[in-house]
Every structure is written in structure tokens, then in C-alpha cells.
């Protein structure tokens, strides 16, 4: 009997379903077989939102629940627009389709070690080099014409204005200490003027974090060897993509911040209060913003009294 995929509409239901391999592995094998692909030794990737399964022959199946269909659209579009246009490897699209309302992609598996496995143990000098490379990769992606990705909704201005409206409630819900709420209100009042709303949009992944890139090793140390996971791609103001490496990787260390900015192309003369204020606004408005859990600076809530002090701590120079 052919196993059917369920009509899941919530994250909680989806997580419970995903946790039971017997409920989806027959479907994965059937999809692979339909494309003439082997799945004798599947490997389940535990991180990430969608169901990601390694097939035989260095291929990966990404299965998206119906309520995350937009992520499939973004991923497919990004892979198409970026194909052959970057100096580092990204997955190639091998096959695509839909099963019981669940879209899926079959992509190639890249070589390298997931950044999150390596980053904590890297010496400072290697962190500087890798962050410089990350900055350069972000800039390289943003030089690629967005093409079909411009159609992703909501467009940048609508997205930002929507984020502004719900920002305070979001951070109250996530437990932002009350002492920061007054400066958050000040930031939100100015956000629409701080953030360019109608500048020519560039490709944004929103997630240049260690979990989404691969590192390789040469005789002189580690380097960025690949980039993957484009499910949250949108288009908009380029500095938005500096937030992930700022929070998760640079973590307030001046030389690391400088390496990231150098790689991205921000000169020292441009690192001023206005830039930091704009980055702070973007960080609080990011679709995944959760400062208490994402800013990797030990004890930061006790070290600053407001968001102005926080921006100086994050992007110290």
C-alpha cells in the first residue's frame, strides 16, 4: 500500500510527525524510486525546518510541508538564479515534484564540514579569515541580479513595515528585558527612516550562520567551502544579511567585526553611529530576531542598559 503524506498545518503537528521515521521513510523511498534514484542507506539531517534526507550517491531530498511551500519556491528560485554565478559551490537542482500537496526538491550534496561543528574551536586568526570570506560571499551573492526572486512576497518595504508593527509585541513575548523596551520604541519610531525602503533590492538569504555554510581545510587553515539552505531567501537592503554573522560569529570582537565588514566592502570610515543604528534596527526587525538567544556575547543583557549601548557592544571598533 502506498503511504500518503498527511495534511499538516501546524509546526507542532509537523514536528511530531517528522519524529516518527516510519511515517515518512516509505514516501521518501518511493519519491526517490520515481526519479530513478537509490535510497538504500538514507541519512536524516536533524537540523533545519524541513525534512532533509540524504539519498545514495551524494544527493539530498528536501520535503516541504504544505504550509512551508514558500520556502520551496524561494529555494528553487535562488538555486536557479545563483547557478554558475558564484565562486563557491552551492547545491544543484537535480529533480523536483510534489507528493500529496508536499513540494520537494532533490539537490546535490556539497563537500565540507558544517560550520557550526568547526566554528567554536577555531583560533582567532582563522575566525578572522573565515568571517572575511563570509562577508565577501554575501557581497558576491548580492551582485547577482535577483531576477525571478523579485517576485517573492512580501516585497521589502511591505515586509519591513509589517515587522515594525509587530516588533515590540514579538520581543516582549520572547522575554526581552523591560529596560530595553523604551529604547526599542525609539528605534521603531525611526526605523522607516533609518532603513532604505526603495533602494534597488539584492538577494538576501537572511541566514549566513554557521549551520548554513560548509568549511573545508587547506594547509593554511579553514576556508568557506560551500553555501546551502536558501529557503528564507527574499530581496531587499543588503545590510540585512550582516546580522547573522554579526550575532552568531563576530560576537562583539572588534577584529572579527572588522573582518566581516572588510569582506563585505564597508570601509572603516563608514562604520559610524548611523550604520550601527541602522544595523540595530535591522537586527530587531529580522524575521528570526531573538536577541537573548542569538547574540553570542556572554552576559550582554547585564552589560548594557539600552539598545544604543548594545549596538556599540555588537559592532565595536
pLDDT tens, residue by residue, 251-280: 999 999 999 999 999 999 999 999 999 999
pTM (predicted TM-score)? 0.94
Contact 102, 9 (CB under 8 A): no
Confidence band for 317, pLDDT divided at 50, 70 and 90: confident
pLDDT at position 246, please? 94
What would the pLDDT profile of 228-254 be if each residue is shown by its tens digit?
999 999 999 999 999 999 999 999 999
pLDDT at 1 over 70: no
Mean pLDDT for the chain? Answer: 95
* Rounded CA separation 41/280 (Å): 45
Helical H segments across the chain, by residue range? 11-18, 25-34, 69-82, 115-118, 124-143, 156-173, 181-194, 243-245, 254-264, 273-285, 291-294, 300-303, 307-314
What would the pLDDT profile of 271-314 be if each residue is shown by its tens digit?
999 999 999 999 999 999 999 999 999 999 999 999 999 999 99
Domain ranges of the chain: 11-108, 113-314
CATH number among 3.30.200.20, 2.60.40.420, 3.40.50.720, 3.40.640.10, domain 11-108: 3.30.200.20
Contact 109, 58 (CB under 8 A): yes
CATH number of the 113-314 domain:
3.90.1200.10
pLDDT at position 46, please? 76
* Rounded CA separation 51/31 (Å): 13
* Rounded CA separation 153/158 (Å): 9
pLDDT at 57 over 90: no
pLDDT at position 4, please? 85
Q: Which of 81, 134, 118 is nearest to 242 (CA)?
A: 134
Amino acid at each position: 500500500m502506498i503511504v500518503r503524506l498527511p495534511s499538516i498545518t501546524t509546526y507542532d503537528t509537523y514536528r511530531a510527525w517528522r519524529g516518527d521515521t516510519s511515517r515518512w521513510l516509505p514516501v521518501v523511498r518511493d519519491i526517490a524510486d520515481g526519479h530513478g534514484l537509490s535510497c538504500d542507506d538514507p541519512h536524516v539531517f536533524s537540523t533545519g525546518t524541513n525534512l532533509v534526507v540524504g539519498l545514495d550517491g551524494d544527493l539530498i531530498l528536501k520535503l516541504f510541508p504544505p504550509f512551508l511551500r514558500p520556502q520551496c519556491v524561494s529555494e528553487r528560485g535562488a538555486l536557479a538564479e545563483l547557478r554558475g554565478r558564484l565562486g563557491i559551490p552551492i547545491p544543484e537542482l537535480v529533480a523536483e515534484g510534489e507528493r500529496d500537496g508536499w513540494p520537494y526538491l532533490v539537490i546535490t550534496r556539497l563537500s565540507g564540514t558544517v560550520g557550526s561543528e568547526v566554528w567554536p574551536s577555531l583560533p582567532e586568526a582563522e575566525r578572522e579569515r573565515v568571517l572575511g570570506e563570509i562577508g565577501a560571499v554575501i557581497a558576491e551573492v548580492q551582485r547577482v541580479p535577483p531576477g525571478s526572486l523579485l517576485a517573492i512576497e512580501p516585497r521589502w518595504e511591505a515586509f519591513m513595515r509589517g515587522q515594525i508593527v509587530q516588533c515590540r509585541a514579538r520581543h516582549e513575548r520572547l522575554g526581552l528585558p523591560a529596560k530595553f523596551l523604551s529604547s526599542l520604541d525609539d528605534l521603531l519610531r525611526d526605523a522607516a527612516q533609518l532603513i532604505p525602503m526603495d533602494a534597488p533590492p539584492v538577494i538576501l538569504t537572511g541566514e549566513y550562520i554557521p549551520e548554513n555554510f560548509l568549511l573545508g581545510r587547506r594547509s593554511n587553515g579553514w576556508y568557506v567551502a560551500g553555501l546551502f539552505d536558501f529557503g528564507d531567501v527574499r530581496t531587499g537592503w543588503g545590510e540585512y544579511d550582516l546580522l547573522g554573522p554579526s550575532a552568531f560569529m563576530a560576537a562583539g570582537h572588534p577584529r572579527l567585526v572588522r573582518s566581516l565588514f572588510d569582506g563585505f566592502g564597508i570601509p572603516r570610515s563608514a562604520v559610524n553611529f548611523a550604520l550601527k543604528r541602522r544595523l540595530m534596527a535591522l537586527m530587531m526587525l529580522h524575521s528570526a530576531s531573538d536577541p537573548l538567544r542569538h547574540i553570542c556575547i556572554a552576559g550582554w543583557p547585564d552589560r548594557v542598559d539600552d539598545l544604543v549601548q548594545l549596538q556599540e557592544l555588537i559592532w565595536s571598533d
